[in-house]
A and B are shown apart, each in its own frame.
Chain A
Amino acid sequence: MGKPFCLRKAKVNQHLKIMTVSADGELGRRIRDMGLIPGTECKVIGKAPLNDPVALRLKDFTLTLRNSEADHITVTSAEA
C-alpha cells in the first residue's frame, strides 16, 4: 500500500482502495449512499470526453463522479 492520494489523480484502470471520504451534507450523503466508504475497493474505468466526470467501477456496479466530487475522496493503490 502506497501513500494516500486524491481520487482525481487516479489513473484509468488502476486498482484503488478508498481511505477517507471528507464530504459532508448532501454530497457526503450521496457518496455514502452509493457505497463509497473507507475500505471500499474501486477502479476508474473511464473518463468522459473532457476528462470529467469519471466512471468508477465498484465490486458490483459502476457509477459516475465529477472531479470536483472526487476531490473529497482519498485513495491508495491496491495493486497486488
Chain B
Amino acid sequence: MTEYTLGIAGNPNCGKTTMFNSLTGSRQHVGNWPGVTVEKKIGHIKTGAHTIELVDLPGTYSLTAYTQEELVARNFLVDERPEVVIDVMNADALERNLYLAVQIMELGVPTVLGLNMMDEVRKNGKEIDGDKLAQLSGCSVVETVARHGQGTDELLRAAMNLADEKKGEWTPLHISYGPDLDPVLKEMEALIEANSFLTEKVPSRWTGIKYLEGDEDVIVKGRMANTKISDELAAMAAKVADHTQKTLNAAPDAIIADHRYGFIAGLIKGVVSYPVLSEDRISRSDAMDRVLTHKFFGPLIMLGIIYLIYKVTFTVGEIPMGWLEALFGLLGDAATAAIPEGYLQSLVVSGIIDGVGGVLGFVPLIMFMFLMISALEDSGYIARMAYMLDRVFKIFGLHGTSVLPFIVSGGIAGGCAVPGVMAARTLRSPKEKLATLFVAPYMTCGAKVPVFLMLSAAFFPENAATVMLTITLGAWGMALIVARILRSTVIKGASTPFVMELPPYRMPTLRGVLIHTWDRTWEYAKKAGTVILGISILIWAMMTFPELPADRIAHYEQQRAATQVEEQITAIDNAQSEEAVRHTFAGRIGTALEPISELAGFNWRVNIALTGGFAAKEVIVSTLGTAYSLGEIDAEEAAPLSERLVADPMFTKASAIALILFTMLYAPCFVTVVTMARESSWSWAMFSVVGSTSLAFGLAVLGYNITRAFL
C-alpha cells in the first residue's frame, strides 16, 4: 500500500474546486482547516491499494508573498513537500495560467498540468497540442473538463505515475533572466550553495530569485537562518536593482516577470493555435456583458437581482424556518413534560433548546442565501457587480463586492447579519473585507425591525413609515461613514488593486452549487452545538440567578392568598417577575449601569433588554416587556408594551430616539460575533463589539440631549 500527498494548485476561477470535488467524489472526507482568512481543504481518496491525501490550495495567480493565499499555497509546497502538484489550468487562458505553473516548476515540485475547461477551448475554435506542451515543459499534461468529470481519472493516474517515477526528487526549471540578472543570480547561487543557505528546503536559484524580487517572507526566513549570508544576498539584489533601474528603468521583479512571460510565449508558440477571424467574433459572454454591464440598464438589472436574492432568501427561507421553530417548540414542550419542574427543566428548555434552537433557526436563511450567491458566483455575475459598484464603494474605502454583505445583513430592512457577514467571503481584498465585516451589522436586520416598529409606533405614530425609512437610510450612511473612518485609521493603507478577472459567464452546475451551499451551511450549524450552546447556558444563568430570597417569595404568596380577584393576581405575578428579574445578575448589571446609561435616557429596564439583546436582538422587545412587568410578551405583538412606554414619564421621545440609534449601531448579536470571528479573527470581532458599542453610546447620548433640547 502506498500513500501519496498531492497538492492541487491553480488560478482562481480555473475550476480547481470543481476538480477537487470531482476527484474526491462521494468518497471524500472534507475537513476545513481555517486559517486567518484562507483555508485549505483536505480530501482522502482510496483507489485499490493506494490512499491519496489531496490538498486543495487557495487559488492564486502567482507564488509571491503579497497575499495570504499565495503564502499558504507556497508554504505548503515548501514545507509539506507533496509528491506531486496538480496544476489545474483554465486552458482557454493558457498563457496566463502557465505563469503560475512556471513558478511551481521553478521550485521544482513534480507537476502535472491539468488542461481544464477544454470544452470552452474547443467551442472557441482554438486548438491545444497537449503532447507538445508536455514535451516542451517536461510536465505530464492531461486534458480535462472538470465540471463533467472528464479526464479526472486520467489526471489522478498521471499524478500517481509521476510520483512513482520521481520518488520525491525535485528538478527545478531553469529560466534565463537576461544579461543583467543572470550573472548576479549565478553568483548568488554559488554563495547559497557554499553555505547551504536554506538549501534543505528550496533550490538555490529559487532563493536567489526571491531575493531579487525582494520577497519579504523569504528574506525574513533567510535572516533567521543566517543573517550574514542573507544581508550579502540582499546587498547583491539592491546593487543590481539600482543598476537595472538606471539602465532599463525597471525593477528586477518586473524584468523577471517579462522573462517568465517570454519563456511562456516560447512554450505555447507551437502549442496553441487560434482560429482565423476570431478577432471580431463577439463571444456570447461579451454580448451578455453589453446588456448586463450597460451604463444605464446594468445597475437597474443589478438592483433587480439583489432584490430577488433578498426576496427569495427571506420569503422562501421563512417557510422551513417556521418548521424548525415549530420543531424546537415541540422539543421544548416535550422536555417540559418529561423533566420535572425545576432548574434542570428551565436550563434545558429556556437555556439549551431556546438558545441552540434560535441559532439553528437561521440555517434555512443561510442555506437559501448561499444557494443563490454560490450560483451567482459560479456564473461570474458577482465579478460584474463588483465592477459596476466599485467606483462608489471605493470612496468609502470599500470594494464593489461589499454591496452583497450589506444587502443581506439588512440593507433592505429585514435581513440578517449572520449570512451577511458570511457573504463577505466573496471579497478578495483583506482590508476592505475587515471594514465590511465591521459595518455590515449596522444594517436593519429582521430582529431589530420589531424594536424600531414598536418605538416608532409608540412615539411617532403619524410618521412611522418615514421613521422606518430614515432608519434604513441612516444605517447605510453610518455603515459607509464608519467604513471610511476605519479605512483611514485602523486599517489604513492604499486600496487593494482592482485588477480582477471578469470570467466568461458560465452555467453553474447544480452539483457545484449544492456542495458549496452544504459546506457553508454545515460550518455554521456545527457552531450551534459547541460555542453557542455554552454561551446560551451562561446567558440563561445570568437571567435566572440569583433567585429571590425565600421571604420575598413568601411575601408574594401571602398577597396572592389574600386576594381572589383575577386581575390582582396577574398584577402580583407581574410585580414578582419584575423583582425577580431585577434581582438576577443581568438585572443587577442593568441597575448598576443606570448612572451611565441615564446620559442617553435609558433606565435599568432598557439596560437589561439591551444586555439581553447581545444574545439575540429578538430578545430586546421581549425582555423589555418582562422588565416592564407585562409577563411574557410575544415579539410579534408589541402594542401593549409601546403603550406602557409612552405612559412612563421617564421614557421620553428623546429616549426613544436614543434607543433607536443605540440599537442600530451597538454590538452585533452574539451569533454574528462568532461568525465574524470565524471570518476574520477574535480580536477583530471583539474590537467590533467594543468599538460599535462605544460609537452607539456616544451617538445615543448626543441624540438624546439634542432631542431634549429641541423638543
State the CA gap A45–B286 with chains docked (Å): 9
Of chain B, the residue at the smallest CB distance from A20 is B249
Partner of B254, one of A21, A60, A64: A21
- Encoded as 1 (CB less than 8 Å from any A CB) or 0, chain B from 495 to 516 comes to 0011111111000000000000
Tell me if A9 counts as interface (CB < 8 A to partner B): no
Central interface residue in A28, A46, A49, by most chain B CB within 10 Å: A49
Of chain A, the residue at the smallest CB distance from B295 is A49
Tell me if B95 counts as interface (CB < 8 A to partner A): yes
Central interface residue in A29, A59, A69, by most chain B CB within 10 Å: A29
Taking the closest CB of chain B, its distance from the CB of A9, in whole angstroms, is 18
Check B501–A28 contact: CB distance below 8 A: no
Of chain A, the residue at the smallest CB distance from B64 is A29
The DSSP consensus for interface residues of chain B is helix
Taking the closest CB of chain B, its distance from the CB of A62, in whole angstroms, is 4
Check A64–B497 contact: CB distance below 8 A: no
Check A60–B96 contact: CB distance below 8 A: yes
Tell me if B39 counts as interface (CB < 8 A to partner A): no
Check B289–A24 contact: CB distance below 8 A: no
Taking the closest CB of chain B, its distance from the CB of A73, in whole angstroms, is 11
Check B95–A35 contact: CB distance below 8 A: yes
Check A61–B501 contact: CB distance below 8 A: yes
Check B392–A27 contact: CB distance below 8 A: no
Check B261–A63 contact: CB distance below 8 A: no
Check A63–B254 contact: CB distance below 8 A: no
Partner of B261, one of A35, A49, A64: A35
* A-contacting 9-mer, from B320-328, B334-342, B383-391, B566-574: B383-391
B504 contacts across to A, CB distance below 8 A: 61-62
A50 contacts across to B, CB distance below 8 A: 391-392
Check A69–B499 contact: CB distance below 8 A: yes
Taking the closest CB of chain B, its distance from the CB of A30, in whole angstroms, is 4
Partner of A60, one of B95, B261, B387: B95
Check A48–B293 contact: CB distance below 8 A: yes
Tell me if A6 counts as interface (CB < 8 A to partner B): no
A38 contacts across to B, CB distance below 8 A: 258
Tell me if A11 counts as interface (CB < 8 A to partner B): no
State the CA gap A73–B387 with chains docked (Å): 20
Tell me if B465 counts as interface (CB < 8 A to partner A): no
State the CA gap A31–B251 with chains docked (Å): 14
State the CA gap A26–B261 with chains docked (Å): 18
- Encoded as 1 (CB less than 8 Å from any B CB) or 0, chain A from 63 to 80 comes to 111100100000000000
Partner of B66, one of A26, A37, A48, A65: A26
Partner of A62, one of B62, B257, B298, B501: B501
Taking the closest CB of chain A, its distance from the CB of B528, in whole angstroms, is 39
Partner of B387, one of A34, A59, A64: A64
Of chain B, the residue at the smallest CB distance from A33 is B61
Check A66–B388 contact: CB distance below 8 A: no
Check A61–B93 contact: CB distance below 8 A: yes
Check A28–B253 contact: CB distance below 8 A: yes
Interface size on B, residues (CB 8 A): 41
State the CA gap A21–B257 with chains docked (Å): 11
Check A69–B497 contact: CB distance below 8 A: yes
Check B99–A35 contact: CB distance below 8 A: yes
- Chain A residues 7-37 with CB under 8 Å of chain B are 21, 24, 26-37
Tell me if B46 counts as interface (CB < 8 A to partner A): no
Check B391–A37 contact: CB distance below 8 A: no
State the CA gap A60–B99 with chains docked (Å): 14
Of chain A, the residue at the smallest CB distance from B290 is A46
B394 contacts across to A, CB distance below 8 A: 66
Check A31–B390 contact: CB distance below 8 A: no
Tell me if B94 counts as interface (CB < 8 A to partner A): yes
Tell me if B698 counts as interface (CB < 8 A to partner A): no
Check A60–B391 contact: CB distance below 8 A: no
Partner of B497, one of A31, A45, A62: A31
Tell me if B92 counts as interface (CB < 8 A to partner A): yes
B93 contacts across to A, CB distance below 8 A: 60-61
Given contacts A35-B96, A64-B502, contact A29 B391 (CB under 8 A): no
B94 contacts across to A, CB distance below 8 A: 60
Of chain B, the residue at the smallest CB distance from A63 is B501
A59 contacts across to B, CB distance below 8 A: 95
17 other A-B residue contacts (CB within 8 Å) besides A34-B96, A48-B391, A60-B92: A30-B66, A31-B499, A32-B254, A45-B286, A46-B293, A48-B390, A49-B296, A49-B299, A53-B387, A53-B498, A60-B96, A63-B499, A64-B387, A64-B390, A66-B394, A66-B498, A69-B498
A selection of 17 A-B contacts at a CB cut-off of 8 Å is: A21-B254, A30-B66, A32-B257, A33-B257, A34-B96, A35-B96, A37-B261, A45-B286, A46-B293, A48-B387, A60-B96, A61-B501, A61-B502, A63-B500, A64-B500, A66-B497, A69-B497
Interface residues of B (CB under 8 A from A): 61-62, 64, 66, 90, 92-96, 99, 251, 253-254, 257-258, 261, 286, 289-290, 293, 295-296, 298-299, 383, 386-388, 390-392, 394, 497-504
